[in-house]
Structures are given as C-alpha cells and as structure tokens.
Amino acid sequence: MARTQGSHSDITGPRVREAALALFARHGFAAVSMRQIASAVGVQAGALYNYTPDKQTLLYDLMRTHMEDLLAAWDSQTPTGGALGALETFTRFHIRFNTRRADAVFVSYMELRNLSPENFEVIEGLRRDYETRLETILRQGAREGVFAVSEPRIASMAVIAMLTGVNTWFREQGRLSLAEVEAIYWEMVRKSVAA
Amino acid sequence: MARTQGSHSDITGPRVREAALALFARHGFAAVSMRQIASAVGVQAGALYNYTPDKQTLLYDLMRTHMEDLLAAWDSQTPTGGALGALETFTRFHIRFNTRRADAVFVSYMELRNLSPENFEVIEGLRRDYETRLETILRQGAREGVFAVSEPRIASMAVIAMLTGVNTWFREQGRLSLAEVEAIYWEMVRKSVAA
C-alpha cells in the first residue's frame, strides 16, 4: 500500500536529524526554530513533535547518536600489529570517520554549551569513553616499549585534537587525497608518542 | 573635569568588545542582539551605534583584533636556539596566549560561518599568516637537519590544532599547571616533526 505523501510516517529520524544538523551547523542551535526544521523536512511544525518532544532533545539525540556511532564504528575495527598497529588504525579511522561528518563534528563541539547539565554529562561521558580507547592504546604501547608518553590521557586528547583539525581545511577536491592526508598525519602521530 | 556617567564617552572599545565576546561565546552570534550587548555594557542600544555600525562589523572587529593581537604578540617574541628553539617558543607561546583568551578563540573558530565573504577573506588571510610563521620554522628546521616533515604547511596546521585543543580541557584549578601542560605538549610537538 502506498504511503500518503506528507503523512506522519514520513517524519523519519534520519530526515529530521539531517535537516536539524545542517541548520544547527549553519546558523547555530539558538538561532534555529523547530518551525525552520519542520520546513526543511517539508512538514508542519506540529508534525515534528511526533518525532521529538523539543529542540533540546533533538540536539542531545544528534550529539549522542554521533558519539555512539563513532564508538561503535571504532569498536568494530580489528587492528593488528600490537599497539603500533592499533594507533595507525585509530589515526586513519578517526580522520575518515570525521571528515565524512563535518556538520556533526562541528555541532558536537560548538553546541556543548547549549546542552542541559544532565545531557552534557552523558555526552561528556561518551567523549571520555572515546578518549579512553586511545589512552588504552598508548598505555599498551608504553608497556610494549614502542611508545613513551608522560601523560597518556593528555596525549590522547592532543592526538584527537590534531586529527579532528583535518576537518577545518580538508576538501575532497583538494590537492591531497584522504589517503595521503592519513599518511601525513600518521607519520606525525607515530613520532609524537614514539619511545 | 569629571566625565558624565553613562555618556557616550563610556562606550569604549574594550568594554563593548568584552561584552560582545562573552555573549557571542555563550549564545552564538546569530542569537545575540545589539540590544543585549548594549544592556550588558549598561547603555542604550542607540549609544552602541556610536561605536560600531552593525553587529557584523562588531564580530569582524573582534576576530580581526584577536588575530592581529596574536600575530603582534608572536612577532615580539625573540626565540633563540635555531629552529628547535623557535618551535619550543612557538609551542609555549601559543598555549599561553590562547588559554588566556578562551572566548575569543572559540568565537574565532565558530563564527567564521557568520562573516561576510569579504570579512572572511581578511580573517582567513590573518590565519594563514600565522600558520606561515610556524611553517617557516618547520622549513628552517628541515634545512638545519633537525626536523623532517613531508608537508610543512599541513604539519603547521596539525600542530596548531593540537595546541589550540588545550582550551577544551585545561582549567586553571586543575591538576597540572600551565607550565606542566606546556612541557607535555612541547615534548609531543618536538617529536612529531623530529628528523
């Protein structure tokens, strides 16, 4: 049976999230109304409330989904080659995952200030979980004698900041392919924590 | 002669800039009105227009001043010890300068999207100038044989992203002093570009 065009069943999560993410990234959470999001999805504002109770919940869902997807995608990787192999896998994975989600990365950083305290705690917890994945690799490498880092937690935040920075300048049509960018960053990351 | 309280002469640049910066960082440029900024300064909205023609100009001035101050502060440094000494000076300078200006750094990154095309060009130019300072150090170090970087421009952006990331987690009251943080990052930066 054909679905009625514009019915509530059209308010699917992915369409709402995609529209909200693009609008938040372009104008900022505080400047975007639920009406604008509904308009971008092509439905009445009232219909949007069948999907999400309010704008805060929508922002929180976007940021939680982004972090959960990141963690799940990393946890499905199967690095080989000890800590060195794991660090190379992490470096290339982080760059690939984040350059493909520029809006989500930007909103996740920028709109932390607009989360309610309880929602902020959850997102920060997920962020810490991700940093812990890298910290574990750095500690493993120190035990193997391939890495030397005085502060593994801070080193993991430093590496993640460096890698996420690719988003501020990388363009698909640019001089360097993503594989070349990965190789340049991997060389720097590898040396930055080398024993 | 005593100045009249609340007179136009009270609308000094620093007070307006400080109030606007705090509000833009907290709520985002698009969500803040000139009326709110005037209220934070303690004057009528009309008085604000004696200082700046519009909100776009105010944002542009904030970002331009931040970048010009950064460039002037760096250019007044007098590093010794060749490229290695210059890189250490740059690393410590960048962390110290930016942790003291968290709102300006946040707004300068986040609100690029809200600059008019011509204003964006100027700010991007200043940002490129700053990256060039570091790129020059990396190229000098390569000639001296102390650094080995395949892409000095990208390496400079990677290092700057890593160092600016300190702002996302450093707290004055935290476990580590700023001097200790500088030392940890300097070790990583030094190794990341080492020959």
Residue B11 confidence (pLDDT) above 70 = no
Output the six-digit token pair for B86: 């210059």
pLDDT single digits (tens) B120-151: 999 999 999 999 999 999 999 999 999 999 99
Using CB atoms within 10 A of its CB, is residue A156 exposed (0-12), middle (13-18) or buried (19+)? Answer: buried
DSSP-derived secondary structure for A50-67: TT-S-HHHHHHHHHHHHH
Contacts of B109 in chain A (CB under 8 A): 168
Sole residue written with tokens 């095309």 = B117
A·B CB contacts under 8 A: 91
Contacts of A193 in chain B (CB under 8 A): 188, 191
Contacts of A25 in chain B (CB under 8 A): 113
- The answer to whether B194 faces chain A, any CB pair under 8 Å, is yes
- A187 to chain B, minimum CA–CA distance in Å? 8
- The answer to whether B147 faces chain A, any CB pair under 8 Å, is no
Contacts of B29 in chain A (CB under 8 A): 28
pLDDT tens digits for chain A (195 residues)? Answer: 444 444 455 557 888 999 999 999 999 999 999 999 999 999 888 888 888 899 999 999 999 999 999 999 999 999 999 999 999 999 999 999 999 999 999 999 999 999 999 999 999 999 999 999 999 999 999 999 999 999 999 999 999 999 999 999 999 899 999 999 999 999 999 999 999
- The answer to whether A1 faces chain B, any CB pair under 8 Å, is no
Contacts of A176 in chain B (CB under 8 A): 151, 154
In chain A, what are the domains? 1-52 (1.10.10), 55-192 (1.10.357.10)
User: Which one of B110, B162, B169 has the shortest CB-CB distance to A110?
Assistant: B110
Show Cβ contacts of residue A36 under 8 Å, excluding neighbours closer than 6 positions. A23
A29 vs B29: CB contact, 8 Å cut-off? no
B187 vs A150: CB contact, 8 Å cut-off? yes
Q: Identify the three-state secondary structure at position B18.
A: helix
Q: What is the mean pLDDT of residues B180-187?
A: 98
- The answer to whether A147 faces chain B, any CB pair under 8 Å, is no
Q: Is the separation of the CB atoms in B189 and A158 below 8 Å?
A: no
Q: Which of B25, B29, B31 is nearest to B60 (CA)?
A: B29
Percent with pLDDT over 70 in chain B: 94
- B128 to chain A, minimum CA–CA distance in Å? 11
